Structures are given as C-alpha cells and as structure tokens.
Amino acid sequence: ELEVEELCFRLKEQLMDTPNVKALKAPVTVVGDIHGQFYDLVELFRVSGTCPDTNYLFLGDYVDRGIHSVQVISLLVCLCVRYPNRITLLRGNHETRQITQVYGFYAECVRKYGDARVWTAFTDLFDFLCVSAVIEDTVFCVHAGLSPSVLTVEQIAVLDRFHEIPSDGALADLVWSDPDQQREGFNQSNRGAGYTFGEDIVERFLQVNGLQHVLRAHQLCMEGYQVMFSDRLSTVWSAPNYCYRCGNMASVLE
C-alpha cells in the first residue's frame, strides 16, 4: 500500500503542471481501452514494443470489468513515473470514483489489499490525468468524443480537470460521448451521460482547429478498430475478447 501511495504521489507531482491538452510528436503508438486485462496489456507491449523503446499514448479506461485492474494501473503508473517523456495516460470515463465503485475496481482493491487505501490513492491520481492530446498538430486524441460546450482545443486547455468527472458539462462529454453515423448534430446519448455527435460536428471541429483527424476509444469494435466520417474519425479498442466473452479482436494505432 505504501509503495502504491508513493507512486501515485510522484505521478501527481509530474502531472500537476501538465496541460489538459498534451502536445505529442510522432512516432507514437496509441492504445484504446484495456479494462483490467493485464495479460493482454503484456502481450500488447510484446507485439508493439516495450517502453521506453516505443512511445505510447493510452486513451483511458485502464480499470474495471477485467479482473486485473490493480496490476494494469500499477504497471502503467510505474512506467509513467520512470519514463515521463515516453508514455502518456489520458483519463477515461472509468477513471472516476463513482464508476469504479460499480464496475469492479473498488471491490478488487479491497479484496487484494484488505481496505480501500489503494483505491483512494489511484482515484485521487485519476483527477490529475490529462483529458486530451494532439499529435503533430494534426490528430486530436480523446477518450470518447466531442462536446457542445467545446468548439476549440483552447477551450479544453482552460478547463479545471483536477476533480471528479461531473455528470454533465465539457469534461463529462469528452469521456462519455460517441459518434453517430445516422444523425447529424449533437443528440442525447443512451449512455445517460455525454452526447452522440454527427459527421458535421467532427468536420466543424477539425476545420476550426486546423486538425485532420479525431482519434478516440470508448466503444467496443469487433474488429478492434473502426474508421468513420470519410476517414476523419477513428475508434481504437485494445481489450481483446472483452469481458472474457465478447470474442472481439483488439488493435493499436501506430
């Protein structure tokens, strides 16, 4: 427990001055949801390259659902502390206190450590994670999607991220929203948080910000990835056989 608390404290110190929108250079390997599938994460590093030999951007959702969330987030935090210029972790909708109490991470921490101290250390750390990144001034990376409250990247840059994700507002939308190929504009999401957004929204966001592509995770893709909106948006999913029963493939983007 003390070692985990020390690791989380060190990473929080590093992240304190990190902007909401982190600028990254290529080459970088982008990873989608992991959801506590530790051995799949190990295989991912074996296939795509170990850190620090390979630069990584993780798009969030490291915990819950799978049975090894503690191992997943512990390894990633260790790598971030050791190689801060080689690996970046964004915040997903599961990096919150409320969601982790429902979908398994809290129970796993209590089962493995006997109390909630480790869960508290990690969920306090989650408040410090960046919410987005831009690769080579062309690719906008976020866990889930866009927000009606955000038209420019500069608006994301001035958000106060150092707290629990609220139930609505820009931060919630960035970690909850989904693209919709059937409808334009922003519409209410059946997830109960965030919005769905159409191709017109993506096109406008890219044009206003001088970007070329939106890269996100958040949605299960049976082939491991999905490209939408005339190659303007991609979803990457990195948890194979999600929940040990979905039979899906996984991918990373290089």
pLDDT in tens, the chain (254 residues): 999 999 999 999 999 999 999 999 999 999 999 999 999 999 999 999 999 999 999 999 999 999 999 999 999 999 999 999 999 999 999 999 999 999 999 999 999 999 999 999 999 999 999 999 999 999 999 999 999 999 999 999 999 999 999 999 999 999 999 999 999 999 999 999 999 999 999 999 999 999 999 999 999 999 999 999 999 999 999 999 999 999 999 999 99
Q: Check if the beta carbon of residue 50 is closer than 8 Å to that of residue 244.
A: no
Token pair 């965030």 is found at: 194
> C-alpha angle with apex 45: 43 to 51, nearest 5 degrees?
160
> d(Cα 169, Cα 180) in Å, to the nearest integer?
19
> d(Cα 95, Cα 165) in Å, to the nearest integer?
9
> d(Cα 231, Cα 214) in Å, to the nearest integer?
9
Is the overall model pTM greater than 0.85, yes or no? Answer: yes
- CB-based contacts of 245: which residues, under 8 Å, 6+ apart? none
Reply yes or no on whether 218 is catalytic.
Answer: no
Q: Check if the beta carbon of residue 177 is closer than 8 Å to that of residue 143.
A: no
User: How many angstroms separate the Cα of 101 from the Cα of each of 9, 97, 119, 161, 225?
Assistant: 22, 6, 9, 20, 28
What pLDDT does residue 169 have?
A: 97
Cis omega (within 30 of 0) for bond into 52: yes
Q: What is the pLDDT of residues 115-174, one digit of tens each?
A: 999 999 999 999 999 999 999 999 999 999 999 999 999 999 999 999 999 999 999 999
Helix, coil or strand: residue 183: coil
What pLDDT does residue 203 have?
A: 98
Q: Per the residue annotation, which of 68, 94, 143, 218 is the catalytic one?
A: 94
The packing angle between helices 69-82 and 2-15, to 10°, is 50
Helix, coil or strand: residue 30: strand
What's phi and psi for 102, nearest 5 deg? -100, -40
DSSP 133-162: EEETTTEEEESS---TT-SSHHHHHTS--S
